[in-house]
Amino acid sequence: MTVQPQLSPTRGERAEAAAPPAPGKRRRGVCPGLSAPMPTGDGLLARLLPIGPIHCNAFIDLCEAAGRHGNGTIEISARGSLQMRGLTPISAPLFASAVSALGIPASEGVSVIAGPLIPDADPMVDTAAVAAALRRAIAERRLVLSPKVSIVVDGGGSLHLDSLSADVRLRAAGSRRPSFHVGLGGDGQSATWLGAITPENVVDVIVGLLTAIAGRGPTGRAADILRAEGVEALRSSLPCGIGLSRSPPARAAAEVIGLHSAPDGTAAVGIGFAFGHAQAGILAKFVGIAAGLGTHAIRPAPGRALLLTGATAAHASRLADAAEQLGFVTRADDFRRWIAACPGAPACAAGLIPARALASELALALRSSGAGAGHHQASGIAVHISGCPKGCAHPMPAALTVVGTSNGCGIVRNGTARAIPDHYVTPANLSVEISRSAARTHEAAHG
């Protein structure tokens, strides 16, 4: 559905939006939608969760609105949401109104993400229709759920959604008699699988599970009901039966970055944002080039990526070249992919170190030295550079976290930005420190 933002906040709402978080505290459990942007160190942040492809012209207009009403920084989250930074209490409603007028298919509320990102030639089920039915059912029943609760509807294909964690996960199976495996918690590999259901029973079963999660309170998650009730009790409590089945088999990791063949004979190009962000003007320029090369639509994708569809194979190669020239990530082995970094100083008032500038220096140093090559393919984000202890860019632990402190760059191994650093280095010595650490790790792993 098209987002219908609240365009006229009350005086109290404007004051609440303008008020920064208390020093040293992060507003946890908040998902910043268009109608409720979240205060950050560089202004308000609004998030847009597209539920379908975006036409190139609409995407260019979105970039223009982000530059006019915000600071022009556009991010893609790890889950494929678009984030626009630097809005103000005055400009945020204007931005929401501008985006609403573009007719971009998007959703607020419980996150329901459907795939595959490129349609299969012979899809087992219409995952977009299933996701739409779930959104309608959740809205009609007015379930009060944690804003962190999410649902994945995975139709399979090479660009599947196994990398995304979710409270409730559906994975399509079968061909003659399509069904869905139902899983709770974790990602595609670590989910607890309950069994299988038919597409006709999806809404009743999933709403039953969400109702059980809602019963654990406004912060309830799938892990809570698993601990409290167990798998067998959950199966028997649902309005429609879940058939016993084997857990779905493991499959190769999906890789969005690069060139992909679509069933209609066209090609899709997956590109990434360096450290998850891009400037609106450069992004609009690139999308304009993409449109000129035959791209029909753009879809934000998990892994901080964009998927551009509709071009011929020849034009797709030219499009990838243009993306690389403009500084976007076009190779799966790009070192920038396994470094997460927030804006940091001076963009963010809370930043104590220039996180993204340091990330750029570090990526160049690692590429030049070759240290850590291939590490990102196995472990995702390996280095997290956070301007302050809030750790906005990557709340989860990383193999190496660099956090801005009054003592310089705090070094945390296998932890988050909130952990006590093992030691400190100056920003000028950070690249040398991490390059040496990566080299030691590589040598230990390879003898």
State residue 127's pLDDT score: 94
Question: Rounded CA gap, 397 and 107, in Å?
Answer: 29
State residue 433's pLDDT score: 81
CA max distance for the chain: 64
- Mean of the pLDDT values across residues 236-262? 87
State residue 124's pLDDT score: 80
Asked if pLDDT for residue 23 goes beyond 50, the answer is no
More confident residue, 31 or 290: 290
- Mean of the pLDDT values across residues 149-165? 94
Share in percent of the chain as helix, strand, coil (round to 5): 35, 25, 40
State residue 15's pLDDT score: 33
Q: Residues in the chain, how many? A: 447
Give the CATH number of domain 335-446.
3.30.413.10
Question: Rounded CA gap, 24 and 31, in Å?
Answer: 19
Token digits for 350?
């809370």
Structure confidence at residue 332 as a pLDDT band (50, 70, 90): very high
Does a cis peptide bond (omega within 30 degrees of 0) precede residue 300?
no
Q: What's the pLDDT tens digit per position in 389-430?
A: 999 999 999 989 999 999 999 999 999 999 999 999 999 999
What are the C-alpha distances in Å from 50 to residues 83, 106, 214, 444? Answer: 11, 4, 25, 43
Q: Torsion over CA of 231, 168, 396 and 118, rounded to 10 degrees? A: 140
State residue 259's pLDDT score: 94
State residue 30's pLDDT score: 53
437 within 8 A of 400, measured Cβ to Cβ: yes
State residue 63's pLDDT score: 98
3-class DSSP state for residue 164?
Answer: coil
CATH superfamily of the 11-20+27-108+256-325 domain: Sulfite Reductase Hemoprotein;Domain 2 (3.90.480.10)
What are the C-alpha distances in Å from 160 to residues 155, 251, 268, 302, 447? Answer: 7, 9, 15, 10, 35
On the CB side of 230, CA atoms within 13 Å amount to 3
Average confidence score pLDDT of the chain? 86
Asked if pLDDT for residue 333 goes beyond 80, the answer is yes
Domain with CATH 3.30.413.10 in the chain: 118-237, 335-446
Buried-state track 8-45, b at ≥16 Cβ within 10 A, e below 16: ebeeeebeebeeeeeeeebeeeebbbbbbbbbbbbbbb
Q: What's the pLDDT tens digit per position in 177-216?
A: 899 999 999 999 999 999 999 999 999 999 999 999 999 9
- Mean of the pLDDT values across residues 1-17? 32
Structure confidence at residue 56 as a pLDDT band (50, 70, 90): very high
- Mean of the pLDDT values across residues 32-50? 92
Question: Rounded CA gap, 98 and 96, in Å?
Answer: 5
- Class of the CATH domain delimited by 118-237: alpha beta
Q: How is residue 2 annotated by DSSP?
A: B
State residue 439's pLDDT score: 63
State residue 27's pLDDT score: 44
State residue 172's pLDDT score: 94
- Mean of the pLDDT values across residues 2-14? 31
Question: Rounded CA gap, 301 and 193, in Å?
Answer: 25
238-252, 351-365, 383-397: segment of lowest average pLDDT: 238-252
State residue 232's pLDDT score: 85
What percent of the chain clears pLDDT 70, i.e. is strictly above it? 87
DSSP annotation string for 230-285 = HHHHHHHHSSS--B--PPPPP-PPP--SEEEE-TTS-EEEEEE-GGGEEEHHHHHH
Name, in order, each residue with C-beta under 8 angstroms of 228's C-beta and a sequence gap of 6 or more.
216
Domain with CATH 3.90.480.10 in the chain: 11-20+27-108+256-325
Question: Rounded CA gap, 298 and 300, in Å?
Answer: 7
Which of 130, 148, 107 is closest to 206 using CA atoms? 130
State residue 114's pLDDT score: 95
226-235, 297-306, 403-412: segment of lowest average pLDDT: 226-235
Structure confidence at residue 26 as a pLDDT band (50, 70, 90): very low
Buried-state track 353-373, b at ≥16 Cβ within 10 A, e below 16: bbbbbbbbbbbebbeebebbe
Tally of CB atoms within 10 A around 142: 7
- Mean of the pLDDT values across residues 104-130? 87
Phi/psi zone of residue 372: left (φ > 0), alpha (ψ -120 to 50 degrees), beta?
left
Question: Rounded CA gap, 11 and 27, in Å?
Answer: 21
Handedness of CA 333, 80, 67, 259 (dihedral sign): positive
Question: Rounded CA gap, 209 and 233, in Å?
Answer: 12
Structure confidence at residue 346 as a pLDDT band (50, 70, 90): very high
